[in-house]
Structure 1
Amino acid sequence: MAGKKSPWGSGEAGSGEPADAPAGEGGDAAPDSAPPPRGGNGPRNPWLPPASGDGRRTQTLEDLFKRRGGGGGGGGNGFRLPTRPDGGSWVPVAVGIVVLLWLGATMVHRVSPQEKGVVTTLGAYSHTIDSGVSFTLPWPIQMVEVEDVTSIRRDSIPEGDGERLMLTGDQNLVDLTYLVRWNIKDLKLYTFQLAQPDETVKEVAEAAMRQSIAEVTLNDAMGSGRASIEASVRERMQRILDAYRSGVKIQGVEIKKADPPAKVVNAFKDVAAAQQDARSEVNRAETWAQQLTQRAQGEATAFDKVYAQYKLAPEVTRRRMYYETMERVLSQTDKVILETTGVMPYLPLPGMKQTPPAEPATGERR
């Protein structure tokens, strides 16, 4: 290899050896694979870290980790977990405590008296647990979903102050606001049969109410027919939800407001006032008729008593009745009847009867 230049910098000036060094005594030339000396002026080896001017190389990321973590050999000053008094590690103990807490939280279930729980095994229904303390397999093998099955739930339709118009049987519109009370009677059906049981209850209530309102008139919906409407809606809702196998029991329906539409409320008020006046007149007429009937019945009873006396003494009773009748009739006239003779017929007896005598003036001499 004499006369050729090594790519690693051997044979250049300042390397310490001439480029064309003679062969040794043994006749062997210097090998080309000899590493170049440090600090040479030739091309740098790309596989070696760059050398600094003072002979020290730059620190690498591996050097930093070794110095901070002890190099993996335990000789550094890095962070270490505390050890037990016997020299063992606390890691197994910590893992065991975490596992026990996880098992206790996912296997032991406390259910309140008004609640029940549905247990599922890998997503499929397993059984239902009642109130009290129950045990299941840990999560995620078994899961428990607890629901309140005793408390009454209330849904106001519509929510807020919205207007809900419905068509009555006599082709009128009425604005209805009502309340539905219900609870869970079968937790398994309630959980697995319907996708959204709460929304289903509201939609069934809406359909049942519209059907019931369409069978009555506006006056019934706004007046005395509310009780029958509420009973009809409750019965219809329960029948539909039982057909769906929803596991829901309807406790009651209450109509909170039944008013005419807002645009015609003034006209409805005028009509209601006129109807109220008409009912008042009818009630007054019925009262007068009852009083007149009672008076006639009293007179008939008195006549029956007089007739009983008449049968005992007809002549005396007849004369008494004649006198009483003439007294009653003549007491209301201005005529004066005299049966004695010698009385002037032109005497103003009626005028004298009606005109009171004049009182004497104060201080008049007699």
Structure 2
Amino acid sequence: MESFDDYVRRMRGRRGPSEPWQKLLVYIPWGIGLLLILGLLFDGSYTVAPHEQAVVLRFGRYRATVAPGLHVKLPVIDQVMKVSVEEHGLRLPLGSPSSGENAPGSVEGSRPLEEETLMLTGDLNTASVEWTIAWRVTEPSDYLFRFPRDVGDEGANAFASELITFVARTVMNRLVGDYSFDEVIGPKRSDIANEARAGMQHILDEYRCGITVTALQMQRVVPPDLVKPAFDRVNASIQEKQKLENEAEAQRNKLLPEAKAARDKLIREAEGYASRRRAESQGEIEALLAKHRAYQRAPELTRQRLYLEAMQDLLIGIKDKTIIDGDLKQLLPLLNLNTKGGRDQ
């Protein structure tokens, strides 16, 4: 079979001097081959950005998920689809982006209408509830096959945002309905946020969409505008009540130690008096017992001694004393025993 080069030489021999374009015919196959090689080399490598991960499909079937960097693949056979794994934010209940200071939902003028934020609490009251969610893709393969890729990354993120918004509103409405109004705006806010994040993640895991909720924060939990004046008055009365309770508690803390100190002082004085009286009583008992023993040994002598002691105790407090003989028949003139020579001492 005649080759292309033989064909060219034969044609040159027939036609004489060849044209310039005819000289290039020899290099056309080499050029085509070089282009094919360059195309295969270019299609055989790809780069994944730091905020991305790539899903490799071989013959349309999932093969691997690769990290950022430079990678190689089989040309034509392998297909690479990149997925952004950076963190995204939503301000709910309307689902507006919240990443960045100038993002919608981060300024007062972009807040949703109050009707969109109202939720029914467990005690049949309404509260205006707003919250933010941070999420990112953690399983690129699940995320890739769950959301359509023909609309691009922005379109896929839009689908994901709609799903997260729907799940978040469902979970938040259920949780707010489990608590009273006072609990929702007060002590249970952090508990509701934690339970909402866990409930959302459970539902998203059931969907197998490859999304992880990294944070959920309660932003505004306030009463509706129609009842806000009455609510402010109630809060003012509650604060006044707490103020009075704090003042009473402070007064109690001040007076209670003083009362306890006075009580302890009285108790110690009473205990000291009781100890002293017991000692005195014990001493009197011992003295009486001693007299009794002495009386048993010498009754007459003891009786006389007791009489003299009693008279001494009696007469010691008398200023003027007059002694009269018991055998005296007639009353003598008064003998002043407190004078000497008829004169007072």
User: TM-score by structure 2 length?
Assistant: 0.59
Shift of 1:242: 1.4
Partner deviation per Cα, 1:26-58 (whole Å, 9 max, x = no partner): xxxxxxxxxxxxxxxxxxxxxxxxxxxxxxxxx
Q: Aligned equivalents of 2:26 and 2:271: distance in 1? A: 125
For residue 300 of structure 1, give the secondary structure of its aligned residue in structure 2.
helix
For residue 309 of structure 1, give the secondary structure of its aligned residue in structure 2.
helix
Task: Please tell me the residue identity of whatever aligns with 1:162.
Answer: P
What is the 5 A alignment of 1:190-229?
A: 190-194=143-147, 196-229=159-192
Aligned to 1:138: 75
Aligned to 1:169: 122
1:153 to 2:106 alignment: no
Partner deviation per Cα, 1:245-266 (whole Å, 9 max, x = no partner): 2222222210011112233333
Task: Please tell me the residue identity of whatever aligns with 1:127.
Answer: A
Task: Please tell me the residue identity of whatever aligns with 1:180.
Answer: I
Query: Gapped runs of 5+ residues in structure 2?
Result: 1-18, 97-104, 106-110, 149-158, 280-345
Aligned to 2:65: 128
Q: Aligned equivalents of 1:138 and 1:197: distance in 2? A: 31
Q: CA RMSD in A?
A: 3.2
Shift of 1:108: 0.8
Shift of 1:136: 1.9
Partner deviation per Cα, 1:12-39 (whole Å, 9 max, x = no partner): xxxxxxxxxxxxxxxxxxxxxxxxxxxx
Cα 1:303–1:91 change in 2 (3 A) is: farther
1:277 to 2:240 alignment: yes
For residue 263 of structure 1, give the secondary structure of its aligned residue in structure 2.
coil
Aligned to 1:186: 139
Kept after mapping to 2: 8 A contact 1:213/1:221: yes
Shift of 1:293: 2.2
Partner deviation per Cα, 1:80-114 (whole Å, 9 max, x = no partner): 9x969x75587667655654554344321122455
Kept after mapping to 2: 8 A contact 1:83/1:90: no
Task: Please tell me the residue identity of whatever aligns with 2:63.
Answer: S
For these two proteins, the number of residue pairs brought into alignment is 235
Partner deviation per Cα, 1:189-246 (whole Å, 9 max, x = no partner): 1211355333212211111111111111111111121111011101111111111122
Kept after mapping to 2: 8 A contact 1:120/1:127: yes
Partner deviation per Cα, 1:111-139 (whole Å, 9 max, x = no partner): 24553211224544333223332222335
Q: Aligned equivalents of 2:172 and 2:49: distance in 1? A: 35
Aligned to 1:307: 270
Cα 1:90–1:299 change in 2 (3 A) is: farther
Aligned to 2:331: none
1:103 to 2:36 alignment: no
Q: Aligned equivalents of 1:98 and 1:165: distance in 2? A: 64
For residue 290 of structure 1, give the secondary structure of its aligned residue in structure 2.
helix
Match of 2:52 among 109, 115, 119: 115
Kept after mapping to 1: 8 A contact 2:83/2:144: no
Partner deviation per Cα, 1:283-327 (whole Å, 9 max, x = no partner): 2223323333222212112223323432443499xxxxxxxxxxx
Identical aligned pairs, as a percentage?
A: 26
Cα 1:104–1:266 change in 2 (3 A) is: farther
For residue 74 of structure 2, give the secondary structure of its aligned residue in structure 1.
coil
More helix by percentage: 2
Cα 1:286–1:125 change in 2 (3 A) is: same
Kept after mapping to 2: 8 A contact 1:152/1:181: yes
Kept after mapping to 2: 8 A contact 1:83/1:89: no
For residue 313 of structure 1, give the secondary structure of its aligned residue in structure 2.
helix
Query: Gapped runs of 5+ residues in structure 1?
Result: 1-79, 317-366
For residue 137 of structure 1, give the secondary structure of its aligned residue in structure 2.
coil
Structure of larger gyration radius: 1
Kept after mapping to 2: 8 A contact 1:118/1:187: yes
For residue 227 of structure 2, give the secondary structure of its aligned residue in structure 1.
helix
What is the 5 A alignment of 1:19-30?
A: none
Aligned to 1:255: 218
* Structure ranking higher on relative contact order (CA contacts 8 Å, 6+ apart): 2
Match of 2:230 among 267, 291, 294: 267
For residue 278 of structure 1, give the secondary structure of its aligned residue in structure 2.
helix
